[in-house]
Structure 1
């Protein structure tokens, strides 16, 4: 089978599985799931469904177990929606790349904030250390000048 056809089947399966999980499944274990990608074998007999599951590891395991329990239902939905010779057997894989990218973004944000704080601190030491005192003296002088004019 051509890679173009496999890619097309992967997109179609991802769409069907995503919609079925979101709108048709009533399993309380299956929540906060995002279907990221589907890899279909060249013979179309199997497919790996990569999902992102939010929550703690226990909740992720429970959700993955719920997805595996609903495998037959999801395969039937694929068979109903997509006209192929074989309906692929689904295997669900928890892909934590989204979590890792969020953690990396948070670390980068924290480093940027620390760098900005260090730069502000360094510029405060080198530049105007007496500025806050001068400002308070100026404001006092301004008020005394204003009161004397009256």
Structure 2
């Protein structure tokens, strides 16, 4: 039962975070960010947000720093939009799966050309 609820909260957070990051964050360090996944713990106290950032390594680091500094604001916005007793603590992580997939696709394309 708890797993189903945490999945529903994670999906709702993913939707709301996408809206917040695209419209509400005004930090110039934050570039083009896509929320790829959200994992919420069973007790709804922790939320791990996986993001994909467009740009090179320096831009990704700057964006991650900007998001980390904006965590309080983001958590407050989530609390206003999702009715929970306690809003989960948010941590941001760069999703490596997309980069890994692109790397594999490039290798396969190179093999097909040969």
TM-score with structure 2 length normalisation? 0.94
Task: Quote the Cα distance in structure 2 between the aligned partners of 1:32 and 1:110.
Answer: 29
| Bigger shift: residues 90-99 or 51-60 | 51-60
Structure (1 or 2) with the larger CA radius of gyration: 1
Number of paired residues?
114
2:28 paired residue number: 28
State the 1:2 CA deviation.
Answer: 1.4
State the 1:35 CA deviation.
Answer: 0.5
Task: Quote the Cα distance in structure 2 between the aligned partners of 1:22 and 1:98.
Answer: 20
1:68 matches 2:64: no
* CA RMSD in angstroms, aligned pairs only: 1.1
1:146 paired residue number: none
Give the structure with the higher percent strand. Answer: 2
Task: Quote the Cα distance in structure 1 between the aligned partners of 2:53 and 2:94.
Answer: 7
State the 1:54 CA deviation.
Answer: 2.2
Give the structure with the higher percent helix. Answer: 1
Gaps of 5+ in 1: 115-150
